[in-house]
């Protein structure tokens, strides 16, 4: 452990489903291969999109997204955030967000290890 011990962090990203593969590769390259993926839907700051189906107007207000959660301890959390933000980027509206949450403790179930080595 170094002087700059950052503690354990959860990086939670909401991304486009078709960017998951690039994000996984970028995370592995950044030294953070472990992750948990959840199918979610959501909306950002844009108003709902309107469409037509068989003459009926409908509103698409939730878009399919993927949530990626990546708990890290021994590598700089900023590197992990940057790896996700770069690999998830298209430049079009709807690219998503990356949030960092504090984690107070961690246990690896198989070994019973706690703290940074558990992550």
Ligand X SMILES: Nc1ncnc2c1ncn2[C@@H]1O[C@H](COP(=O)(O)OP(=O)(O)OP(=O)(O)O)[C@@H](O)[C@H]1O
Q: Which residues bind Mg ion (CB under 5 A)?
A: 44, 46, 93-94
Tell me which residue of 13, 5, 18, 11 sits closest to 32, measured CA to CA: 11
Per-residue tokens: 40 = 């979610």
Q: Of residues 40-99, which lie at the interface with ligand X (CB under 6 A)? A: 42-46, 63, 65, 69-71, 93-97
Residue 51 vs 62, nearer CB to its own copies: 62
Tell me which residue of 38, 116, 113 sits closest to 71, measured CA to CA: 116
Which residue is at the shortest CB distance from Mg ion? 44
Nearest-Å Rg of the Cα atoms of the chain is 17
Contact of residue 25 among ligand X, its own copies, Mg ion, none (CB under 5-8 Å per partner type): none
Residues making contact with ligand X (CB under 6 A): 14, 34-36, 42-46, 63, 65, 69-71, 93-97, 108, 110, 119
């Amino acid at each position: 452990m170094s002087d700059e011990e950052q503690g354990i962090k959860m990086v939670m990203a909401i991304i486009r489903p078709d960017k998951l593969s690039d994000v996984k590769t970028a995370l592995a390259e950044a030294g953070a291969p472990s992750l948990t993926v959840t199918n979610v839907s959501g909306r950002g700051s844009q108003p709902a999109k309107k469409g037509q189906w068989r003459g009926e107007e409908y509103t698409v207000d939730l878009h399919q997204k993927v949530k990626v959660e990546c708990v890290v301890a021994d590598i700089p959390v900023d590197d992990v955030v940057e790896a996700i933000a770069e690999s998830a980027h298209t430049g079009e509206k709807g690219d998503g967000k990356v949030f960092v949450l504090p984690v107070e403790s961690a246990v690896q179930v198989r070994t019973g290890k706690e703290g940074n080595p558990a992550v």
